[in-house]
Amino acid sequence: MSFFLFFAFSRSLLSQTEEKSVSEPFPFVYYHLKNGLGVILAEDSSLPVVSVAVAYGVGSRQDKPGQAGLAFLLENLMFQGSINVGPMQHFSYISRVGGRPQARLSDDLTIFFQTVPSHQLPLVLWLESDRMLGLTISEEHVDRARASALDELIQRRFSEPFFDSFLLFDQLLYPDFARSHPLHGYEEDIMSLTAEDVREFFRNYYVPNNAVLCLVGDFHRKRARELIEKYFEPIPRGRDLSRETEAATTFKGPVYKIYVDPLASAPAFHLAYRVAGANSPDFPVFKIMEYILIRGKTSWLQRRLLRRDRLVVRMEGGLETRGNSGFLRLFAVVNNEVMIERSLKAIDGEISRLKSSLVPPEELELARSKYRADLRQRLETTADRALFLSEMYFRSPSLEEVARMLESPLKVTPSEIVGLANRFLTEENLAVLRVRIR
């Protein structure tokens, strides 16, 4: 079980109904219902809307071998009807009042969210509680969700020409099945899933004590609490989840592979260094390192590879964490295979520069500024904040620690960057996958 779910479990044991207040990065309160459901309330009357998010501490990591895509299938099934709501009626109810229901799946979380006019809050709470209490899981509904999931999976595969190489690279970095299989599963596994498989998954993970309800926007706190208790408190608590802490990936480099992909539109390469995971005290250093090296037009690798030397035609990447594992990843598309070799040498040169000298003050401040700007953008709307708080509920030891976690990258020093660059950005932590078109 992941680090994230451990904290969700430990918080649910408190079953506290009294509120705890937090003022940064914006004011909110949180508490728990008696059934273990986490509740976060962040009032903001600047606009007459409210965003509602319900996050469950489950994702593709909980798929079992032979059932890859079960978490994805259930995400689709959540819109196929429940006790009092017919198939796809959740969409129609929310659409009629000007909202748009959305869902987001990751390896550890599944989040459902929507933004509606403030007076429609009771409608959203009723809809979300109805499917948490009694999702319809019949063969007919599962088949309908299966068709939707397969259609989306096929579209994703054909819309991204490097889909297969990303999958292969994930398997190189994460040798275990839980982290390496595709987020949306395999077609053959999805086809073999039964209604009973889905029921068991739902009973285990879609329960109040493995979920958080977050409201951000224009509402009255007292009235919101009354509605939440009315709709969610009658839902029975699920089984307690294991407190097992997940180990980091067993990746050991260096790894150099070549993959011939006839579907790829051009030669390309993937590169990654294993670094500290999100729960490590070293993580803030790598967050700033990400901005220095990869994120933004002024980052070292974008300046070198895209603009100065023009070695690549497309480049993306950043710091990725899955459970207790972390990787600094880069993907780039080039015009020909000669450019791959030149790009790798250029990257090695920039990494050597990071390891051999202190980052100039102006470069460090630029990285901090980009981090601050991205953070502001991430919290711009009520929906953004609802998603952020829902994720932090599972991914931080305590919601009271959120402000400290957000500020810690701003306190990183040049000497810390040099030290960790020399410790982690080594060949033993390196993986490179070259993609050839023939």
Residues 211 and 259 in one domain: no
- H helical segments located in 82-138: 89-96, 121-134
Do residue 114 and residue 157 come from a single domain? Answer: yes
Same domain, 310 and 219: no
How far does Cα 265 stand from its chain's mean position?
28
Which helix (H) or strand (E) covers residue 213, if one does? strand 211-217
Whether residue 226 is found in the same domain as residue 261: no
294 and 145 both lie in a single domain = no
Confidence (pLDDT) at 400: 85
Those residues with Cβ within 8 angstroms of residue 125's Cβ, 6 or more apart along the chain or in another chain: 52, 227, 228, 231, 232
What are the residue ranges in the chain where pLDDT is below 70?
Answer: 1-17, 243-248
Give pLDDT, residue 248. Answer: 65
Q: What is the span of the domain harbouring residue 336?
A: 255-436
Q: What is the pLDDT of residues 90-148, one digit of tens each?
A: 999 999 999 999 999 999 999 999 999 999 999 999 999 999 999 999 999 999 999 99
Same domain membership, residue 428 and residue 293? yes
- 48: domain CATH number is 3.30.830.10
Max Cα-Cα span within the chain: 65
* Token couple for 68: 């890859």
Spatial CB neighbours of 267, under 8 Å, sequence gap ≥ 6? 333, 334, 335, 336, 337, 339, 340, 434, 435, 436, 437
Written as six digits, the tokens of 144 are 């309908």
217 and 270 belong to one structural domain: no
Which pLDDT score is estimated for 246? 64
Q: Are residues 405 and 357 in the same domain?
A: yes
Distance CA 301, CA 295 (A): 9
Instruction: Give yes or no: residues 263 and 209 share one domain.
Output: no
Question: How high is the pLDDT of residue 8?
Answer: 38
Q: Are residues 48 and 185 in the same domain?
A: yes
Q: Assess contact for 104 and 387: CB atoms under 8 A.
A: yes
Residue 120 is given by DSSP the state: G
pLDDT of residue 405: 86
Q: Give the count of domains, the chain.
A: 2
Tens digits of residue pLDDT in 248-282? 677 888 999 999 998 888 999 999 999 998 889 99
DSSP H helical ranges for 263-336: 283-293, 300-301
Q: Which pLDDT does position 153 carry in this prediction?
A: 87
- Look at residue 321 and give its three-state secondary structure: strand
Q: Does the pTM of the predicted model rise above 0.85?
A: yes
Residue finishing a domain among 178, 197, 232: 232
